[in-house]
Amino acid sequence: MTTKRSPEPFVWLLFSSGGMVTALLVPVLLFLFGVAFPLGLLPAPDHAYLASVVSHPITLLVLFGLCVLALFHWAHRFRYTLYDGLQLKKYSVPITIFCYGGAVVGSIIAAIVLLRAL
Amino acid sequence: MPETITMEVWRYRPEHESEPTWDAYDVPLRKEWAVLDGLNHIKDQLDGTLSYRWSCRMGICGSCGMTVNGEPKLSCSTFLTDYAPGPVRVEPMRNFPVIRDLVVEMGDFMAKLPAVKPWLVSDDEPDEDTEYLQTPVEMDDYKRYSMCINCMLCYSACPVYALDPDFIGPAAIALAQRYNLDSRDAGAEDRRDVLASAEGVWACTFVGECSVVCPKDVDPAGAIQRYKLTAASKAVKDLLLPRGAR
Ligand code: SF4
Ligand code: FES
């Protein structure tokens, strides 16, 4: 039995906070922008108003946080899906690089997209 | 209700057969009969060579764990009528080496158990004349985890243990938490090296089957998730704070 401290607590914290934040915010956003506004259940805000909301630094920070945490949640879950579900644990190094690297790349793209709203 | 039910029992007698086989027996189907009563009937009346473990017949000793129709169960608390008209398939617990018929080898768990120090650790020599009082609220913190009967159904249900036998496993972690959360215990730091290792809580992917099958409602999955948070906050503190301030 090894008792080596593992780096797992840090990725797990990202994973679990990502799961919680995503579960709280994404359904609301999906409902508003995917259902309520297109179907006219709620009066849709106009483009200028939305643009000003999105370019507010706090909105940017919240959206960026959501993207980053959701991506790291995905990375962790997908890594274990490949390890245990597809039994690929022997390729753990490339899988780890692909999953968390993917989350980092995704976070950078999110930052670029969000910054362009400024 | 039909009068009998067929029990298909997994047989493995290493001196007779190199591969396990199945034997089918018809046993009386009685309202108050559990799978274990069926097995006892087989052993007493039909085939004395059948081997299995049991003792208390009342869900307390934890020795009668088996796989009944694919699910980990205490055979003394699993009623035949729930499987009527049958057949009922009885196999040894999964994820353990089989010694003979329904008897499995639990040495792996026994070897892991002391690593989590499942006893009260105290800083100083306990004083024989002192009572260590505890309020009901303090007891509530760990009581649930103290109900474990070491039946191993949770290991048998755990897909992570199946893939990674080094995983310390649900019951051992729940037992560690039973002491960690006890107000009289001072051993949490001693247990941390094992619990917070890759083979400890971090091997768990929260499938949750352990808590589903646990006959004592111990909720080992909950114990593990709770310790993940403890271990993660400690790891963050270790990283951020200087040694003295932790
Ligand atoms: S935690 Fe539950 S299932 Fe696991 S050994 Fe203890 S009583 Fe059995
Ligand atoms: S015989 Fe004791 S728990 Fe089943």
Nearest C-alpha of chain B: how many angstroms from A35? 32
Domain end marker among B104, B138, B158: B104
CATH 2.60.120.680 fits A9-115, yes or no: no
What's the average pLDDT block by block, 10 residues per block, for chain B (246 residues)?
A: 91 93 96 96 96 96 97 97 93 97 96 94 80 92 96 97 95 97 93 91 93 97 95 88 67
Residue A3: the pLDDT is 45
**What are the boundaries of each domain within chain A?**
9-115
Residue B215: the pLDDT is 97
Q: Is residue B90 located within the same domain as residue B136?
A: no
pLDDT tens figures, A64-98:
999 999 999 999 999 999 988 888 888 889 999 99
Kindly state the average pLDDT of the residues A40-64.
89
Which residues does chain A have within 8 Å of residue B161's beta carbon, measured at their own beta carbons?
A: none
Residue A1: the pLDDT is 44
Residue A5: the pLDDT is 57
Q: Is residue B45 located within the same domain as residue B84?
A: yes
Residue B129: the pLDDT is 82
CATH number at residue B174: 1.10.1060.10
Report the separation in Å between the CA atom of B206 and the middle of ligand 1, taken as the mean of its atom positions.
16
- 3-state per-residue secondary structure call for chain B: CCCEEEEEEEECCCCCCCCCEEEEEEEECCCCCEHHHHHHHHHHHHCCCCCCCCCCCCCCCCCCEEEECCEEEEHHHCEHHHHCCCCEEEECCCCCCEEECCEECCHHHHHHHHHHCCCCCCCCCCCCCCCCCCCHHHHHHHHHHHHCCCCCHHHHHCHHHHHCCCCCCHHHHHHHHHHHCCCCCCCHHHHHHHHCECCCHHHCCCCCHHHHHCCCCCCHHHHHHHHHHHHHHHHHHHHHCCHHHC
Band (pLDDT 50/70/90 cuts) for residue A35 is: very high
Residue B245: the pLDDT is 62
Predicted ipTM beyond 0.85: no
Residue B2: the pLDDT is 75
| Domain that includes residue B207, residue range | 107-245
Residue B244: the pLDDT is 64
- How many contacts, defined by CB atoms under 8 Å, are there between A and B? 52
Band (pLDDT 50/70/90 cuts) for residue A47 is: confident
Q: Is residue B125 located within the same domain as residue B189?
A: yes
Q: Is residue B113 located within the same domain as residue B196?
A: yes
Q: Is residue B179 located within the same domain as residue B78?
A: no
Q: Is residue B228 located within the same domain as residue B141?
A: yes
Domain end marker among B87, B104, B121: B104
Kindly state the average pLDDT of the residues A25-29.
93
Which ligand 2 atom is nearest residue B149's CA? 3
Q: Is residue B116 located within the same domain as residue B18?
A: no
Domain end marker among B88, B104, B120: B104
| Whole-number percent of chain A with pLDDT over 70 | 95
Q: How many domains does chain B have?
A: 2
Q: Is residue B75 located within the same domain as residue B46?
A: yes
